[in-house]
Amino acid sequence: MSLKDVTQPKINENASEGGATAGSISDSQNSDSWSFKKENYSKQLKSWPHTGRHILAHYDESSIVVYQAYKASIAEFAVQNQRFGGPHFSFDRMSWIKTSFMWMMYRSGWAQKDHQEHVLAIQISRKGFDAILSKAYTMMKQKAARLETKDIEVRLQWDPDHDPHGEKLTRKAIQLGLKGKTLLDFATTYICAIHDITDYVHEQYQVLETRGVQDLETPSEQIYIPGDPKICELLDLDVQDNSKS
């Protein structure tokens, strides 16, 4: 399967985007100096659930990393200003964030797709992330709550996670579409740091292509569980007793 042959998400992505256990997070802005913990992918795979809805993420006590892929003009503005904005970023369109590194690799074709040539690791506060989750609705949840689409600022999609070669897995990965005030808060308030990890992405893709998945290293990810049980219920999370919050 070609990593570039990926169907678009159900809602267009913004501007052509179309913990302590997860390692320390520094204030630097690129993958060369950003100190994030990496682990062997195959080793991590053994510790992850194979089925169910789970938030796999790179996080610490106060922050969590989400991923987006953009064209150069948006990514460069974001890294330089440590927020989103500028002439090429639209606050009028829904913008999608993902916590799964491998889902981001699938979606962007390892940063090889048009307008997704730069992968950003966006460190946001856990408080802000939980605030986003508390407003997340699937289409089914929206109908059950009798809410209008215009009233939904966070669209939740549970999509199949993917392996490094782009093949679907049984486990579901979370994808969150942001708009309105929630998008503005994410883009300007919740952010702790923005890192362009494109060089790291390309490096690991070469490892995958030349040495195989057995040598692939990816950001350390563990199951993230929001502190509020009501959020877990809203998201239909499959909560495991041995997971860390």
CB count within 10 Å of CB 24 equals: 10
Neighbouring-strand partners of residue 125: 63
Look-up of token digits 């992918």: 41
**Does residue 224 sit in helix, strand or coil?**
strand
pLDDT computed for residue 56 by the predictor: 98
pLDDT computed for residue 36 by the predictor: 87
The beta strands (E) that lie in the chain are given as: 38-40, 55-57, 63-70, 95-98, 118-125, 136-137, 154-162, 168-178, 191-196, 217-219, 222-224
* pLDDT tier for residue 8 given thresholds of 50, 70 and 90: very low
Span 193-234, pLDDT tens digits: 999 999 999 999 999 999 999 999 999 999 999 999 999 999
Residue 57, burial from CB neighbour count under 10 angstroms (0-12, 13-18, 19+): buried
Q: What are phi and psi of 42, to 5 degrees?
A: -60, -35
CA distance 230 to 43: 32
Give me the residue spans of the domains in the chain. Answer: 19-235
On whether the CB atoms of residues 226 and 232 are closer than 8 A, the answer is yes
Per-residue pLDDT for 18 more than 90? no
Span 113-154, pLDDT tens digits: 999 999 999 999 999 999 999 999 999 999 888 989 899 999
Span 31-44, pLDDT tens digits: 445 678 999 999 99
The sign of the CA dihedral 23, 96, 124, 109 is positive
| DSSP secondary structure of 122-179 | EEEEHHHHHHHHTTEE-HHHHHHTT--GGG-SEEEEEEEEE-TTS-EEEEEEEEEEE-
On whether the CB atoms of residues 40 and 204 are closer than 8 A, the answer is no
- Sequence-ordered list of residues with C-beta below 8 angstroms from that of 23, at least 6 positions apart, any chain: 35, 36, 37, 38, 58, 60, 219, 220
pTM of the predicted structure, to 2 decimals: 0.85
**Angle at alpha carbon of residue 213, lines to 199 and 203, rounded to 5°:** 10
Per-residue pLDDT for 23 more than 50? no
CA distance 177 to 173: 13
